[in-house]
């Protein structure tokens, strides 16, 4: 079994925010393992990470294939016997952000979005939780979105009022509910669970008009992944700011 102090698993870690998160955690002393659907893209990401001085490996993980959850668990059991950080970064959107489509969103889009953004996250987290409990400082980061904030959506002066893509927004609100419930269940343990809003970032998902650069995109996830023992659990954050549910 490898002698490593800290190990982190980042889903969807071969590009965008996931890759930046892997880079920063790796440069902060973690050995990072990125979960990818496409091995070729995974190898390209590894080349980039290793060039940045990051100790990294890749493992097959596909949110649409539940059997890969066990592949990931077996990998960490055999190599490390624990997991220190899980960043549930993989996600998807199939709508226009300005869709305003609650009255007519197709059922297949609703189901596919929830399968990836909620059900797969819950399933993987449940699978890996025994390994996280073996860490002296287990951290779970659920990469959510400010668009999952019901408090902001319903506010009279809402800054996110136009962005009403129902399937995506509802899936992130449900993910936030998972954060709250799991954090409550894990009180008294060494495992902390928080939701992260990375910001509107120039990525394939965020598009070219987003105001945040990719270099700043991992700041929230990295902070929550490296919280001290007296840090928060069961919160929803963007950088140092707590967001309304």
Residues identified as active-site: 168
Confidence of residue 5 (pLDDT cuts 50, 70, 90): confident
In angstroms, the CA 222 to CA 21 distance is: 6
Within-domain flag for 157: no
pLDDT of residue 1: 47
pTM of the model: 0.94
Given a cut of 60, whether residue 23 has pLDDT beyond it is yes
In angstroms, the CA 21 to CA 153 distance is: 28
pLDDT of residue 150: 97
Backbone angles phi, psi at 70, to 5 degrees: -70, -30
Confidence of residue 2 (pLDDT cuts 50, 70, 90): very low
Within-domain flag for 101: no
- pLDDT tens readout for residues 78-134: 999 999 999 999 999 999 989 999 999 999 999 999 999 999 999 999 999 999 999
pLDDT of residue 97: 87
- The percentage of residues in the chain with a pLDDT greater than 70, rounded to a whole number, is 93
Within-domain flag for 2: no
**Average pLDDT estimate for 40-65:** 95
In angstroms, the CA 11 to CA 245 distance is: 24
- Sorted by sequence, the CB contacts under 8 Å of residue 113 that are 6+ apart come out as 92, 93, 94, 95, 167, 168, 171
Mean of pLDDT over the chain = 93
Within-domain flag for 110: no
Which of 7, 17, 9, 16 has the alpha carbon at shortest distance from 196?
17
Within-domain flag for 155: no
Within-domain flag for 113: no
Within-domain flag for 141: yes
Q: How many domains does the chain have?
A: 1
Tokens of 24: 């920063």
In angstroms, the CA 9 to CA 89 distance is: 10
Concatenating the DSSP letter of every residue in 26-93 gives: HHTT-EEEEEES-HHHHHHHHHHHHHTT--EEEEE--TT-THHHHHHHHHHHHHTS--SEEEE-----
- pLDDT tens readout for residues 57-78: 999 999 999 999 999 999 999 9
Within-domain flag for 159: no
In angstroms, the CA 25 to CA 10 distance is: 10
Q: What is the residue range of 141's domain?
A: 7-92+120-146+172-242
In angstroms, the CA 87 to CA 224 distance is: 9
pLDDT of residue 208: 55
Given a cut of 50, whether residue 24 has pLDDT beyond it is yes
Q: In this structure, what CATH number is given to the domain that contains residue 188? A: 3.40.50.720
In angstroms, the CA 147 to CA 190 distance is: 29
């Amino acid at each position: 079994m490898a002698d490593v102090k800290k190990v982190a698993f980042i889903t969807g870690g071969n590009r965008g925010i996931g890759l930046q998160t892997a880079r920063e955690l790796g440069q902060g002393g973690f050995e990072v393992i990125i979960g990818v659907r496409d091995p070729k893209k995974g190898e390209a990401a590894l080349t980039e990470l290793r060039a940045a001085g990051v100790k990294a490996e890749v493992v097959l993980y596909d949110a649409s294939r539940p059997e890969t959850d066990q592949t990931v668990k077996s990998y960490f059991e055999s190599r490390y016997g624990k997991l220190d950080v899980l960043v549930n970064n993989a996600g998807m959107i199939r709508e226009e952000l300005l869709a305003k489509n609650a009255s007519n969103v197709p059922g297949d889009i609703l189901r596919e979005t929830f399968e990836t953004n909620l059900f797969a996250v819950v399933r993987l987290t449940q699978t890996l939780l025994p390994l996280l409990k073996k860490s002296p400082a287990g951290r779970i980061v659920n990469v959510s979105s400010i668009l999952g904030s019901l408090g902001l959506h319903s506010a009279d002066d809402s800054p996110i009022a136009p962005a009403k893509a129902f399937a995506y927004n509802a899936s992130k609100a449900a993910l936030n509910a998972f954060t709250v419930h799991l954090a409550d269940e894990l009180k008294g343990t060494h495992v902390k669970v928080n939701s992260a809003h990375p910001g509107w970032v120039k990525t394939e998902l965020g598009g070219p008009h987003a105001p945040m650069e990719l270099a700043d995109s991992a700041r929230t996830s990295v902070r929550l992944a490296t919280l001290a023992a007296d840090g928060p659990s069961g919160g929803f954050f963007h950088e140092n700011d707590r967001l309304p549910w």
